[in-house]
Every structure is written in structure tokens, then in C-alpha cells.
Copies of this chain bind each other. A is one copy, B any other.
């Protein structure tokens, strides 16, 4: 007559309570940033363990698939959130987390924010030209004003990013 044990948010078994809490903490975190859960799991576990882990370790400890682990690690590398640990006398690659805020913020801005901002500016350029071709003068003026406003938003956004990097990553 066993009581069913309460189901944790993630189904892995080999983690301590605290490790699991940290992993969940990062799962929430990446979700807020619009990144897939697996990134939070992987980074979280690397963050709270003192030594680097291999892809296989991650699969085993987190109970995720090899595919997820591989793709997650790739994305984390692109974001500058993990790097390959050097000098392990071993064939497989081990990963360690970047634990300074600077590269994390920088990578997120570079990979997730800047591209959207830039493509947005480009689109606005095109929209702007389209608006200037509006026949009716009153309508044209209204449209132009609104679009100018959008441009100014984008410009401010572009200016804020470096400040953010400077403030967050010191």
C-alpha cells in the first residue's frame, strides 16, 4: 500500500532536492526569456554542479533525449552561456557554464534581441516609403507621424541595449 510519491516538475531521478530546485528555477527563467525548457534544465544543472558534464551526463541526469541535449548545448554555446571545458583526459566533450552575467546578457542581446530590432528597422524603412506615397495629404501626415514614432521607439531600443550590457555586465 504505497502512497504515490508527488510528481516533481521534471521527471529526472538522480538529482538532489536542491539541484532540482535550481534546475526548475532556470527552467522558469528561460521560459520568461522565450527559450525552450531544455536550455534551462541544461544550464541549471551545469550551474549548480562543480564539475563539467558531458552530453551523456546531461541525458542521464536530466532524463532528456540525446537530441534535446545536443540541440540545447548548441544553442547555449551560441548564446555564450556554456563553453567546452578544456583539458579533460577523455574523448568526449565536457561543458561548463559561463557564470558571469556579462556574456549571458551579451549573448542574449546579440542572438535574440538585435536581429529582431534590425529586421524591424528594415521593415519600417519599407513601410515608411509606402506611407509617403499615400495620396490624401491629411491621411499621409497621420501615417507618417505614427511611423516616425515607431522609428523613434526602435532607435531608443537600439540605444538602450548597450547601456543594459554595461549596467548588467560589469
Residues of A within 8 A of B (CB): 17-18, 21-22, 25, 28-29, 32, 34, 47-48, 50, 99, 101, 113, 116, 119-120, 123-124, 126-127, 130-131, 134, 139, 142-143, 146-147, 149-150, 153, 156-157, 159-160, 163-164, 167-168
Other than A25-B120, A28-B123, A160-B167, give 10 A-B pairs with Cβ distance below 8 A.
Answer: A17-B130, A18-B127, A21-B123, A22-B127, A25-B124, A28-B116, A32-B113, A50-B142, A159-B167, A163-B163
* A112 CB to nearest B CB, Å: 8
Residue of B nearest to A32 (CB): B116
* A147 CB to nearest B CB, Å: 8
Contacts of A119 in B (CB 8 A): 28
Which of B18, B134, B160, B168 touches A130 (beta carbons < 8 Å)?
B18
Contacts of A17 in B (CB 8 A): 130
A163-B167 in contact (CB<8A): yes
A167 to B156, CA, bound (A): 8
B25-A143 in contact (CB<8A): no
Contacts of A124 in B (CB 8 A): 25
Which of B101, B131, B149, B156 touches A168 (beta carbons < 8 Å)?
B156
Which are the 6 A-B pairs with shortest beta-carbon distances?
Answer: A34-B34, A32-B116, A21-B127, A18-B130, A50-B142, A156-B168
